[in-house]
């Protein structure tokens, strides 16, 4: 799967070597995450902030 980098060239995100020791589900999830990041970057959205306490993670507040 080719993915555009910031300078416009395309690189292969999932090479054969990385694919050999991963399950297809992991690769699909990673591709989905990469697509999500690409769409967010093309929208110009800010990355999700991690400083807010998660409601179900048991953060002491």
Residue 2 inside a domain? The answer is no
Residue 29 inside a domain? The answer is yes
Range of the domain at 22: 18-43
Model confidence at 27, in pLDDT bands (50, 70, 90)? Answer: confident
Residue 9 inside a domain? The answer is no
Tally the domains of the chain.
1
Residue 35 inside a domain? The answer is yes
Quick check: 18 pLDDT over 60? no
Residue 49 inside a domain? The answer is no
Higher pLDDT, 36 or 11: 36
> Residue range 29-55: average pLDDT?
73
Q: Kindly report the pTM of this predicted structure.
A: 0.34
Residue 4 inside a domain? The answer is no
Are 1 and 14 in contact, with CB atoms under 8 Å apart?
yes
> Residue range 10-21: average pLDDT?
59
CA distances to 10, 25, 42 from 45, in Å: 22, 27, 8
- In this structure, the dihedral spanned by the alpha carbons of residues 2, 27, 33 and 5, taken in order and rounded to 10 degrees, is -20
Could you tell me which residues come within 8 angstroms of residue 1 by beta carbon, excluding any fewer than 6 positions away? 12, 13, 14, 31, 34
> Residue range 11-38: average pLDDT?
72
Residue 53 inside a domain? The answer is no
Residue 58 inside a domain? The answer is no
Beta bridge partners of 3: 11
């Amino acid at each position: 799967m080719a993915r555009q980098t910031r300078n416009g060239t395309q690189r292969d995100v999932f090479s054969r070597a990385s694919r050999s020791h991963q399950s297809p589900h992991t690769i699909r999830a990673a591709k989905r995450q990469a697509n999500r990041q690409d769409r967010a970057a093309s929208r110009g959205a800010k990355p999700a902030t991690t400083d807010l306490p998660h409601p179900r993670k048991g953060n002491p507040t």
